[in-house]
Structure formats: structure tokens, C-alpha cells
Structure 1
Amino acid sequence: MNAEITEPTPSAEELTEIVLPGKVEPEGLRIRRGTVPTPGPGQVLVRMEATGVSFAEQQMRRGKYYDQPAFPFVPGYDLVGTVRATGAGVDPQLTGARVAALVKTGGWASHVLVDAADAVPVPAGVEAAAAETLVLNGLTAWQMLHRKARVRAGGTVLVHGANGGVGTVLVQLARAAGIRVIGTASARHHDALRAQGVEPVDYRTEDVPARVRALAPGGVDAVFDHVGGPGVVDSWRLLAPGGTLVSYGSASTRDDEGSKQLPVLKLLGRVWLWNALPNRRRAYFYNVWAGRALAKNRFRSLLRADLAQVFDALRRGDLTPGIAARLPLTEAARAMRLAESGTVAGKVVLDGAVG
């Protein structure tokens, strides 16, 4: 069924969630109504105020995300909302607090159960939609720049997709740290990038490696590559001695048929090979969930610490929330179309006001 289901506006305390039933076009997303769940031991019930459309959901609807669950399921990688209720073993004073959470799936719902240990406080005065743009995207950008690449002031980096959700945050964090940024984007975004101090390169009309070499003859200190595919080899070759490649996606294979694991496995193979060779460069395949299964407490500690850094950067004015558009939760299909259009800068946010 490829028509979005429409129903009467639900009551304030009725559960509304968006279901991905299978490999469908955005219009195949379904709206499901139900009873608001009750938090179990160690859980909190969060009334979602803002969630968003990331590249992960775009891959999931194609059945292409590396470890997505079986269809049907509720997508939604991250969210910001207010704690409505607490389960056994959770401090009841959390009720009423605004929190952010990474959930990987389940965020596209009016009410979401979250492990209390995974709920990160959102500072007072930070609006929900603004915070939402910085949960997955901000955490990813911060950790890649400061924990993986560790580029210092005066260095030069190349950011592929500098106008995208992660790219927008990366650019701002790098500039705030005194780092020179070369960014790829289509021509329509170049003026906005120049205004942020970025040297733009048009990936559609220019020879990107040649242009980057002209701008940085000695190579760049880091490349942040979400594109993957054969082009990641150029990213590796553009590194200066001592430089770091951080690969964090395979956008170029989004519409390819076949195994959803193969593009990631190919990237992992390249990373392993490059790091095994005698050279002065490093490569990483970054995933925000890496290490959680083996060291859950450390993962949570870093999540809290790094998100706090991101929110502090927002409050200092180093970051401006990249809100491409705000739409009601029930317009998830339209939001997905917009996010996939390639015409927007920043993140498309789904509002907790379900409509």
C-alpha cells in the first residue's frame, strides 16, 4: 500500500508512530495509533518534541542500512523530548526534564521508551528542534573531528557534503577550532559556505581531487568522507603525511541493489589494508555505535561528555542549528522526500506536534 494513512487527530495521550512496513517509497510510510507505553525498570517515557530524518532512515527504507531490524519497524535514529514518567529504579525527579537520546530506531513516535542511562540532559534555554539537529549529527561531527582526526588549529580539512546534516556541524566545529575547511557541495550552497569561511568545491562540475590539490598542494590533515564507493580512494590519496581519513558512510551506494552489508565491508577492508601498509597516514571507519556492545558504560560516558561539549558550543554561538525544515510527525513522508531531494542544507526535523 503506497498511500499514507490519514486518521482523525489523536488525543494528547494517544501514541502516534510512523511505521516503515518494507522497502517502500516515502509515501508508503504508515501511521499507527495505539496506547502510550508504560516505562519498565530502568526506563523513562519520553514525550517526543523533535526527531529528524538522517541518512540512516533514507537507507533503511531501501533495506540498505547495515544492521537495521526486520520490517516492519518504527524508524527514527534520535530524538529530543520531555520525560513524562519513570520506571522502577529511576529517580522520579527526572520527570519533566528535557532529554536527548540516541535510539537508532523508534524515534518517529509521539512517545518513546528510553533506558534512563541513555537519556542525556538538554541544557535549559536550548530549544528542542535546535537540540535535535545536534544529537546524532553533532555527536558524529564532534567525535570524528576531536576524537578520531584530532586536527589542531591551523590545519586543513576536507569535508565532503559540507552542506549536509553532519557536514554543516563539522564545518562550524572546525572553523571554531581555527581549522581551514575545504568543502564539497553543489553550486547552490557555495555562497552560504563561503559565508562560514569554507572554500567550496563543486562535486558535480569540478574535478574534486585536482581542485583540492590546487587548494592544498601538500595535502590535507583530514578528510571526512560519507560518500564511500570508489571515491574513497581519492580521499585517502589527498591526505598529507600524518593525515587521517574518517569514512562514515556509503552515500554513493544508497540506491544500489544487493547486499546492505557489502558496501560497509568493502570500506572496512580498505581501512584495514591502508592501516596495515607502512605509511604515515591513518584511516578509520566511524560509526557512532562502535564499541557499545563491548563497553556500554564507556559508550554512555563519552556520549554524555561529547554531547555536553556540542551543546556548550551551541550556547557559545560556535554552532548555529542547521534546521532545513520543520514538519509534523504525520508528514514524515513529505519530510523524507525533502531530505532526499538534495536541495536543502541542514537537517529536516519532525515536530512532536503530531498534527
Structure 2
Amino acid sequence: MVKTTAPTATAVATATEVVLPGVVEPDGLTVRRRPAPAPGPGRVLLAMEATGVSFAEQQMRRGKYFDQPPFPFVPGYDLVGRVVATGPGVDPALVGGRYAALTKTGGWASHVAVAAADLVPVPESVASADAETLVVNGVTAWQMLHRTAQVRAGDTVVVLGANGGVGSTLAQLARIAGARVLGTASPRHHDALRRLGVTPVDYRDPELYARLRGLAPDGVRAVFDHVGGEGIVESFRLLAPGGTLVSYGTASTRDVAGSSKAPVLKLFARLALWQALPNSRHAHFYNIWAGRRRADAFRGRLRTDLEQVFALLADGSLTAQVAARVPLSRAAEALRLAESGTVTGKVVLVPDAAVPRGGDASGT
């Protein structure tokens, strides 16, 4: 990087951001304008072109995300945008480039300051909204599939919630790897899953796990479970010898009152017990932030994996599942849509100017 003594000039005077003020319904989100942040040392200012509504924000508005910051704060786990200013110590040549960044919070804004080291280039042939669906979702899916479960061609895997943002990406990546995918979803999403090459199963079926065992009587190589709760026991029982359960959430407790930490800690304890048992099956909890204290290795791993996901998107092997494009100022509508369970893929927030006034925000 080229050292500079001051931020590059920027014409950005104000930024628009969405604030989560406390435990509220989606309509309780507030939109405010404030001076655009000036990038500090080692940082850049991104003009947001797309940011996403993930399950994390659904938990955060309930105060249920494991380590969310105190209210009020700006949510937004990731974004895609163009660099409009650089801070001291950052190469000014980055200005004008389009990048993805993982933020955890802060992405629901028109302009976001991030560390330059966290930027991952986005191919110019890829639309920003498409790329956005594959930032946190793509890294999560790729790492669970290839780094944690190490799925190979010929394996059979189960993806719970295969119509969701992570699930639909995971299902596609598994198919690209040559695996057979059994995916759970409501019947309204089954045709979409079949188009992705997935064998769908109704997640509301009282005999769900019996049906999954019937489709894979010898067990499966991996189960990817974002649901948690007591059903995690049945997910573990689906594994063949040598198989891996990858848990990555506690969706079943999203609307349950009480501690946000208790369901996660209970899940951790259960997975640790299974992992310690003298058997050939494995159980892991996936955390995208694991290893972040070794910043260089963490960033290098994330960049490598996300670049591979973007390459698959650019060459047409991977299809972005954009459930809807919604203007930033209508974030409450986007959050309600994401929580409705009626969409396939990820709801994406875009700058207000990117969606014509009165445009349909219910689909792509």
C-alpha cells in the first residue's frame, strides 16, 4: 500500500443509514441522515451498491443475536460498493474500484467506512445485487462444505432450509462439487429447488426425518443444520459413519423469549459431547468469525474462498438467488419480506435511486 498523509477528497457530504433502536418490529427501524464518515488510517469509504438482509438481522431486532452490540446501532452484515475515498496509508488507486466487505454491523447505509484489508474485489461482469447474495452466504456455504465437511463428488448431503440465502447457495455449491442434495423447504419452494438439482422434502412433514432416511438409507455424508433446537438430534442420526453434522444457527429459537445465549450454549455443549464420543461421526458449529484474532490468516482465507465463489458466479456455474431488491429507505419492508418465509434466496437492499419510485420490491 502507498502511504498518504490525508484522506483523498470526496464529494460525499451526507450518508443515509438505517438504525435499529431496540427490540422492535420491522416498522420500528428508523432512517437518518448524518455527515458521511471520513475514512481513518488504513480505511476506505464505500458507496454502497447492495447490502443484504440476513438471518442475523432478524435475530438482532429481537435482541437474540449472540454477540450483537448495544442498541441503537446500524445493522448490515455485508455489502458491495465502490471506493469513493481512502484514508491515510491506503493506495488512492483503490478509488473507483468495486469491492465486497464483511462488516457484521453497519452495512445498511449509503456510505460505509471499512478497513482496506477487508476488501474483496468483485468482477465487473457481475451485478452488485447478485454479488451481495454471495458475500456472507457464499463464504459460509463454501467453508462449511469444503473446509468443515469436506464434501466430495458422489456424496449425499442434507441441507435444511435449502430455499434460504445460505441454503440455496450451499445446495448449488454441493451440486457443483458433484454431491447429491436433499433439501428441506415448504412445498411452495420445491419447484425452485428442483431447478437447482435438489431433491426437495417438505420441512413441515411430521415424518421428515423418516423420509430423509428413506432417501438415503445408508446415511449421508453431511447435514447442514441452521435450525438447532431438539431437531439437531435427528440431524445427527442421519449421518453415515464418517459423516459430519455442521450446525450454524438456532433458527428454531428465534421467536422464543429469554436469553439469546442460552440456546447457543446448549447447542455448543451438545455438539461438544457428540464430538467427544468414541464414534466415527463428527459434529461442529460453524462460525464465520472463527480465527479472526489471527487477522492476516483470517482475511486471507476469507478472500480466497469468496474469490472462488465470485468466479463461479461470473462463469455462470453459480446462480445468484436474489429474492427482491428493496430501496434502503424501505428497510422495514425488506426485513418483513425476509422474515415472511415466502421467498427463495436473499432480500437485497440497494440505494434508493437504484429502484424506480413505486417499483415492485416483492421480487426481482
| Regions of 4+ moved over 4 Å | none
SS in 2 for 1:112: strand
- Structure-1 separation of matches of 2:247 and 2:130: 26
- Structure-1 separation of matches of 2:273 and 2:240: 18
Q: How does 1:236-315 map to 2 (within 5 A)?
A: 236-293=236-293, 295-315=294-314
- Structure-2 separation of matches of 1:196 and 1:120: 27
Aligned partner of 1:348 in structure 2 is 347
Gaps of 5+ in 2: 1-10, 358-364
- Structure-2 separation of matches of 1:325 and 1:66: 27
SS in 1 for 2:109: coil
Aligned partner of 2:42 in structure 1 is 42
Amino acid at match of 2:341: G
Q: In terms of mean alpha carbon deviation, does 311-320 or 216-225 score higher?
A: 311-320
Aligned partner of 2:82 in structure 1 is 82
C-alpha contact 2:12 2:36 (8 A) present in aligned 1: no
Aligned partner of 1:338 in structure 2 is 337
SS in 1 for 2:48: strand
Aligned partner of 2:127 in structure 1 is 127
Q: CA deviation at 1:205?
A: 2.5
Q: How does 1:175-186 map to 2 (within 5 A)?
A: 175-186=175-186
SS in 2 for 1:229: coil
C-alpha contact 1:51 1:352 (8 A) present in aligned 2: no
- Structure-1 separation of matches of 2:237 and 2:343: 30
Q: In terms of mean alpha carbon deviation, does 110-119 or 206-215 score higher?
A: 206-215
CA displacement, residues 18-58 of structure 1 (integer Å, 9 cap, x when unaligned)? 00000000000001111111100000000001001000000
CA displacement, residues 274-305 of structure 1 (integer Å, 9 cap, x when unaligned)? 01100001111001111102x11111000100
**TM-score, scaled to structure 2:** 0.93
Aligned partner of 1:7 in structure 2 is none
**TM-score, scaled to structure 1:** 0.95
C-alpha contact 1:46 1:113 (8 A) present in aligned 2: yes
Gaps of 5+ in 1: 1-10
CA RMSD of aligned residues (A): 1.1
- Structure-2 separation of matches of 1:298 and 1:246: 22
Matched length: 344
SS in 2 for 1:339: helix
C-alpha contact 2:84 2:96 (8 A) present in aligned 1: yes
Identity of aligned residues (%): 69
- Structure-2 separation of matches of 1:276 and 1:346: 35
C-alpha contact 1:49 1:353 (8 A) present in aligned 2: no
- Structure-2 separation of matches of 1:151 and 1:52: 27
SS in 1 for 2:16: strand
- Structure-2 separation of matches of 1:208 and 1:280: 24
Q: In terms of mean alpha carbon deviation, does 151-160 or 310-319 score higher?
A: 310-319
SS in 2 for 1:343: coil
Amino acid at match of 2:328: L
- Structure-2 separation of matches of 1:124 and 1:328: 22
Q: CA deviation at 1:13?
A: 4.2
